[in-house]
Amino acid sequence: MSQELGITVDKHQDTSEWYTQVVKKAGLADYAPVKGCMIIKPYGMKLWESIKENFNDKITDTGVENAYFPLFIPESYLEKEEDIVEGFDPEVAWVTHGGNEELEERLAVRPTSESIIAPYMSDEVRSHRDLPLRLNQWANVVRWEPTDTRPFLRTREFLWQEGHTAHATEESADEETMLRLEQYQEVIEDHLAIPSILGYKPEHDKFPGAKYTTTIETLMPDGKSIQSGTSHQLGQHFAEAFDITFEDEDSETQTAWTTSWGLSTRTIGALIMAHGDDDGLRLPPSVAPHQVVVVPIFQEDNQEEVMDYAEEVAEDLEDEGLRVEFDHREHRTPGYKFNEWELKGVPLRVEVGPNEMEDDAVTTVRRDTGDKEMGIDKEEFIESAESTLEDIQASMYSELEDYLHENIREAESKNEILATIGKSRGYVKTRWCGKESCEEEVKEEVSAEIVVLPFQEDSEPATIQASEEEISGECAVCGENAERWAYFAKNY
């Protein structure tokens, strides 16, 4: 593969450089003049639009309506809820001037929108009949991260959706929190083919002011965990601060319960990292902008016939409802095209030359395995193309599922936690007392933290049910009674 087009480093030897090259060379994103911001290029945007459409269908089918709230939040609004102020203050970008005039009140560029959506909810909600109120917005947010930024994975401005709901009862807010987490799991697992672990964040790591925070974690090939979506039960904290109250059936005034939940362009970072290989991106068919690429291979004397035949194959595939790219560029060699589509992660490549044309056949190459099948009968191939793509989707998922299961290791003492993190990738599962200081002790030595308190012990990662079961045993760090299982990992 030519140097300028191909990836020049090994994914496992230099994951960081590999990631940067894939992002740039596959045409997903580029750096912007302001550090930590990114230009999302059309190919990257197609991935986001696909994720957006997939999730948007799920939420609108389950009672959520889209709306849009302002980018600017008055400082006094942000200050109404003190946990939000404390939690986000170091990361807020402030607007202080309009033109040359200093503003009377500073405006925050939204880091999240609870404090501007809650006052709206307060106006909208009068009676129990107005509840539940379910809103979502697709927007950008800004968090001025001081640390290392990387396209998609950690950027100062990113795209996301933020859902905000208000409920009459605690139970209804709990159900909402879990439903949205479950829908994130469907996006991450079914659409992006990445297995996940669901659970709570530790108390000290929850969303500022929330009753609890749930997370969906995915394991990357370098052994680090990526938080791929979060759903928060906000309790009555925000409703009290912003006066979201309603009259119940007995005409008594009650305070509502609220939730919020978000999924961002970070999922694209997880997608690149989880599936990519030394040749570039590998996309699961469900999210791939082009599911199949048809590449004609011709000489001067047979160009026209081969092109016609290749176009016919492409059209037949389109008629099957597949997303197809017919690469009819004349100034590029077939070899160049193969490399480019491999780099861009197209799941299935179809090659047609004079031999295929003569036999009414095609040759196919799978991006996930590299398996090549020569001279398949054309009709047979067209009929089975959809199921081939389904097979690619399933095998990409199961490859990572095996990897996830192999990389959850149990540890029973602090030394064992440290040693396991030191020599292996992935999660270290351990009993934990619930104290932040025990996590700190580990964090100081190996920069790994508790990324998730899994919902259910000994269950498949896909299980949604929250576990209330008591665990027996002692905290691996301090030896006091353990409250829960905790997963330590390095993370993005």
Task: Give the residues lining the site for Zn ion (CB under 5 A).
Answer: 433, 435, 438, 475, 477-478
**Least distance from Zn ion to the Cβ atom of residue 433, Å:** 3
**Least distance from Zn ion to the Cβ atom of residue 408, Å:** 20
Shorter beta-carbon distance to Zn ion: residue 45 or 477: 477
Shorter beta-carbon distance to Zn ion: residue 42 or 473: 473
**Least distance from Zn ion to the Cβ atom of residue 438, Å:** 3
**Least distance from Zn ion to the Cβ atom of residue 476, Å:** 8
**Least distance from Zn ion to the Cβ atom of residue 450, Å:** 11
Shorter beta-carbon distance to Zn ion: residue 382 or 418: 418
Shorter beta-carbon distance to Zn ion: residue 116 or 475: 475
Shorter beta-carbon distance to Zn ion: residue 59 or 438: 438
**Least distance from Zn ion to the Cβ atom of residue 414, Å:** 9
**Least distance from Zn ion to the Cβ atom of residue 444, Å:** 14
Shorter beta-carbon distance to Zn ion: residue 150 or 443: 443
Shorter beta-carbon distance to Zn ion: residue 365 or 475: 475
**Least distance from Zn ion to the Cβ atom of residue 481, Å:** 9
**Least distance from Zn ion to the Cβ atom of residue 106, Å:** 41
**Least distance from Zn ion to the Cβ atom of residue 437, Å:** 7
> 423: burial class by Cβ within 10 Å (0-12, 13-18, 19+)?
exposed
**Least distance from Zn ion to the Cβ atom of residue 440, Å:** 10
Shorter beta-carbon distance to Zn ion: residue 241 or 438: 438
Shorter beta-carbon distance to Zn ion: residue 334 or 434: 434
Shorter beta-carbon distance to Zn ion: residue 317 or 477: 477
Among 261, 196, 225, 269, CA closest to 47 = 269
**Least distance from Zn ion to the Cβ atom of residue 411, Å:** 13
CB 218 within 8 A of CB 274: yes
**Least distance from Zn ion to the Cβ atom of residue 434, Å:** 7
CB 195 within 8 A of CB 432: no
Shorter beta-carbon distance to Zn ion: residue 411 or 475: 475
Q: Helix 170-185 crosses helix 42-61 at what angle (to 10 degrees)? A: 140
Q: What are 107's two structure tokens?
A: 């405006």
Own/partner long-range contacts of 24-27 (Cβ < 8 Å, ≥24 apart): 25/280, 25/343, 26/280, 26/281, 26/343, 26/344, 26/345, 27/344
User: Per residue, what are the HEC states of the chain?
Assistant: CCCCCCCCCCCCCCHHHHHHHHHHHCCCEEECCCCCCEEECHHHHHHHHHHHHHHHHHHHHCCCEECCCCCEEEHHHHCCCHHHHHHHHHHCEEEEEECCEEEEEEEEECCCCHHHHHHHHHHHCCEHHHCCEEEEEEEEEECCCCCCCECCCECCEEEEEEEEEEECCHHHHHHHHHHHHHHHHHHHHHHCCCCCEEEECCHHHCCCCCCEEEEEEEECCCCCEEEEEEEEECCCHHHHHHCCEEECCCCCEEECEEEEEEEECHHHHHHHHHHCECCECCCCCCCCCCCEEEEECCCHHHHHHHHHHHHHHHHHHHHCCCCEEECCCCCCCHHHHHHHHHHCCCCEEEEECHHHHHHCEEEEEECCCCCEEEEEEHHHHHHHHHHHHHHHHHHHHHHHHHHHHHCEEECCCHHHHHHHHHHCCCEEEEEECCCHHHHHHHHHHHCCEEEEEECCCCCCCCCCCCCCCCCCCECCCCCCECCEEEEEECEC
Shorter beta-carbon distance to Zn ion: residue 268 or 477: 477
Shorter beta-carbon distance to Zn ion: residue 202 or 353: 202
Among 124, 133, 122, 131, CA closest to 65 = 133
